[in-house]
Amino acid sequence: MFTGIIEEVGKIKSISMGSSSAVLTIGASKVLEHTKLGDSIAVNGVCLTVTKLGTDYFTADVMAETIRRSSLGTLSNGSPVNLERAMAADGRFGGHIVSGHVDSMGTIQAILPEDNAIWYTINADAKTLHYIVEKGSITIDGISLTVAYVDDSCFKVSIIPHTRQETNLSSKGIGDKVNLECDVIGKYVEKLLTSVEVKEEKKSNITEEFLRKYGF
C-alpha cells in the first residue's frame, strides 16, 4: 500500500521490451535505502516488484496487463518517473489509500496557472469519472491529489508549486498521458451495495404464511 506522497523523481535508464511486456531499469537513490529484492515501489503510480538492485538503480518486470492499463509502455530512456516505496507501518499517512493498481489513463487537456497554484484539467473515460467526486481523492501518476472539479468528460486538480517541482508534473504538457487510480473506498462501497441489491432481488417469495396456507 502507498500514500501518494512522492519520495523522488527517478529516470528510466533502459527498457527491454518483449512481445507484450517489458523490463524497466530505473535510476534512483532515496527509494533504494533499505530496499530489498521483492519489495514494492510505485513507478508513476504503478506498483512494481523490485527484481534487481544496484547502487543507483533497480529493475522491475512489467506484465502485459500493466502495459495495457498504464502509460509505462510509452516511457523511453531518460523519462522522469515518480517513485514511492510501500508505506511503512510506522509511517505518516500523508496522502490517501493508494494500492498502486491503475484504473486507466487520462490525458492532460489544459494547464492553467492561477496565482500560486496551477490547474490541471484531465480528460478521462466515463468508467473512471464515475468514481471521481469533487473534493475526493485521486492519484495522478502516483501523486495523491484532491479533485477540485469534475463533470462527465474531465476533472480538474489545483496543485501548489512544490508538488509540481518535486514530481514529474513539471515535465508534463498538454496531450501527455497520465496514470489514474480512483479512491478504492468508493469502489468497495459500490460493490458491497450492489451485492446486497442482487441478494434482495433473488430472495424467495415463499413465506411462512404461504406454506401454512397450502398445508405445510
Over residues 140-152, the mean pLDDT reads: 97
Q: Which domain holds residue 174?
A: 104-201
- 144 lies in some domain: yes
Binned at pLDDT 50, 70 and 90, residue 34 comes out as very high
- 126 lies in some domain: yes
Choose the final residue of a domain: 25, 54, 85.
85
* Pair (194, 112) in one structural domain: yes
Whole-number pLDDT of residue 191: 85
Over residues 35-51, the mean pLDDT reads: 97
What three-state secondary structure class fits 158? strand
Q: Which long-range contacts (CB under 8 A, 24 or more apart) does 106-113 make?
A: 106/140, 106/177, 106/178, 106/179, 106/180, 107/175, 107/176, 107/177, 107/178, 108/172, 108/173, 108/174, 108/175, 108/176, 108/178, 109/154, 109/174, 110/174, 111/172, 111/173, 111/174
Over residues 76-101, the mean pLDDT reads: 89
Lowest-confidence segment of 1-10, 106-115, 125-134, 186-195 by average pLDDT? 186-195
Whole-number pLDDT of residue 198: 56
Which single residue is written with the C-alpha cell 502495459?
A: 67
Average pLDDT, the chain: 91
Report the CATH number at residue 81: 2.40.30.20
Binned at pLDDT 50, 70 and 90, residue 82 comes out as very high
pTM surpassing 0.75? yes
Binned at pLDDT 50, 70 and 90, residue 210 comes out as low
Strand pairing partners for 84? Answer: 42
- 208 lies in some domain: no
188 class by beta-carbon count within 10 Å (0-12 exposed, 13-18 middle, 19+ buried): exposed
Q: What percent of the chain has pLDDT over 90?
A: 78
| Domain tally, the chain | 2
